[in-house]
């Protein structure tokens, strides 16, 4: 049996709480050395690109890959193929747009638990797209948010986001500049796809924690160099990915050596420490990994099957059996 899961099926099969618990377990499995994560492949195709990232999670028994492609003028498509290691069977093919958004927010929650000061914080949200909303949802689910100021370049978008969350009881305000959003905030959530920096490091006050998830390509900049100068502790989901793919981290190579930062899995298993003082400025930067994708895909598959979601497309692909 192979289950085919649409975007709506995926949305109905996992909550943010599910995703946060799954990311905690996934980074622990990685930190314990029970995963295999080769470098993902990026191919420039015409004016767009194709990216494929395989992974094996030997501790939990899953393997698979995510493929994503961008076509200018069309957008981005995501899909995950999920296999069971023991049998080699393809268990599910699923749309992975919501999966990607959900696991990115949840991963930031795992990092924030270890890098932010305890308690709820005045929060700055930079961005208003699905990734920004997922960041805010994750911080709310994990109990970090006291109140929010949101900025994104399009006024209508930031006001719509503020209105949506205010309707559910959150104290939130749309503001006209990124600086206004960050003024007095001790938790900054950056989820902006931009070719120029959106966050100015001079705005950071002692004790601030920053999550940066908006840059996954070399032509994108979310953080300026002053941010990298001022932070005293940098954690990433993958050194290779962040310093190879995120444009702002690539630009900061003269300031930050990849070997000087820790990966989140090291914090989760206690191989590295988190926040050291209440005045330290900390940064978590993420470009995503196959481990996050496949771990959450497995939970989505199990939940979808239990809830009767998706379409069973039978035994796929055809199994060429070994000769007896």
pLDDT in tens, 53-82: 999 999 999 999 999 999 999 999 999 999
Give the per-residue pLDDT at 280: 97
Answer yes or no: is pLDDT of 195 > 80: yes
Q: For the whole prediction, is pTM greater than 0.75?
A: yes
Answer yes or no: is pLDDT of 273 > 80: yes
Give the per-residue pLDDT at 131: 95
Domain boundaries, the chain: 3-100+290-312, 116-285
Answer yes or no: is pLDDT of 324 > 80: no
Q: Please provide the average confidence, as pLDDT, over all residues in the chain.
A: 96
Top-tier CATH class for 3-100+290-312: alpha beta
- What distance lies between CA 121 and its chain's CA centroid? 21
In which band, very low, low, confident or very high, does the pLDDT at 110 lie, cut at 50, 70 and 90? very high
Nearest-angstrom CA–CA distance, 119 and 277 = 14
Give the per-residue pLDDT at 129: 95
Give the per-residue pLDDT at 322: 85
Map tokens 């001079």 to a residue.
Answer: 202
CB atoms within 10 A of CB 158: 24
Number of H helices, E strands in the chain: 11, 16
The domain at 116-285 falls in which architecture? 3-Layer(aba) Sandwich (3.40)
Give the per-residue pLDDT at 196: 92
In which band, very low, low, confident or very high, does the pLDDT at 183 lie, cut at 50, 70 and 90? very high
Answer yes or no: is pLDDT of 104 > 80: yes
CB 111 within 8 A of CB 284: yes
In which band, very low, low, confident or very high, does the pLDDT at 209 lie, cut at 50, 70 and 90? very high
Q: What are phi and psi of 168, to 5 degrees?
A: -100, 15
Nearest-angstrom CA–CA distance, 148 and 188 = 10
Give the per-residue pLDDT at 218: 85
H helices of the chain, where?
A: 7-11, 16-31, 97-115, 130-141, 155-166, 178-182, 225-230, 239-245, 247-251, 264-268, 290-306
In which band, very low, low, confident or very high, does the pLDDT at 154 lie, cut at 50, 70 and 90? very high
- What distance lies between CA 99 and its chain's CA centroid? 10
Nearest-angstrom CA–CA distance, 96 and 17 = 18
Say whether 116-285 and 3-100+290-312 share the same fold: no
The continuous run of DSSP H or E covering 64 comes out as strand 62-71
Residues in the chain: 324
CB 103 within 8 A of CB 76: no
Answer yes or no: is pLDDT of 166 > 90: yes
Q: Which two tokens stand for residue 112?
A: 């924030």
**DSSP conformation letters of 145-206:** EEEEEEE-SSHHHHHHHHHHHHTTT--EEE-SSHHHHHTT-SEEEE----SS--B-GGGPPT
Give the per-residue pLDDT at 253: 87
| pLDDT one-digit tens code per residue, 227-265 | 999 999 999 999 999 999 899 999 998 899 999 999 999
């Amino acid at each position: 049996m192979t289950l085919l899961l649409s975007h709506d099926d995926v949305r109905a099969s996992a909550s943010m709480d599910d995703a946060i618990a799954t990311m905690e377990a996934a980074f622990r499995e990685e930190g314990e050395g029970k995963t295999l994560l080769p470098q993902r492949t990026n191919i420039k195709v015409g004016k767009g690109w194709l990216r494929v990232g395989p992974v094996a999670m030997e501790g939990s028994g899953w393997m698979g890959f995510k493929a994503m492609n961008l076509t200018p003028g069309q957008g981005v498509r995501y899909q995950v193929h999920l296999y069971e290691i023991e049998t080699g069977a393809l268990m599910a093919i699923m749309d992975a747009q919501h999966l990607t958004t959900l696991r990115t927010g949840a991963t930031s929650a795992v990092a924030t638990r270890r890098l932010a000061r305890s308690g709820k914080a005045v929060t700055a949200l930079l961005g208003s797209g699905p990734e920004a909303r997922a960041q805010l949802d994750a911080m709310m689910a994990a109990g970090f948010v006291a109140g929010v100021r949101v900025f994104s370049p399009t006024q209508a978008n930031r006001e719509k986001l503020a209105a949506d969350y205010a309707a559910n009881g959150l104290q939130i305000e749309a503001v006209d500049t990124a600086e206004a959003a960050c003024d007095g905030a001790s938790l900054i959530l950056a989820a902006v796809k931009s070719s120029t920096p959106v966050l100015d490091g001079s705005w950071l006050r002692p004790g601030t924690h920053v999550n940066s998830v908006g840059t996954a390509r070399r032509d994108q900049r979310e953080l300026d160099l002053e941010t990298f100068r001022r932070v005293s502790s940098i954690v990433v989901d993958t050194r290779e990915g962040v310093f190879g793919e995120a444009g702002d981290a690539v630009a900061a190579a003269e300031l930050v050596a990849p070997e000087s930062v820790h990966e989140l899995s090291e914090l989760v298993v206690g191989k590295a420490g988190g926040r050291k003082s209440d005045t330290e400025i900390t940064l978590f930067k993420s470009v995503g990994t196959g481990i996050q994708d496949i771990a959450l895909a497995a939970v989505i598959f199990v939940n979808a099957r239990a809830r009767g979601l998706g379409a069973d497309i039978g035994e796929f692909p055809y199994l060429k059996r070994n000769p007896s």
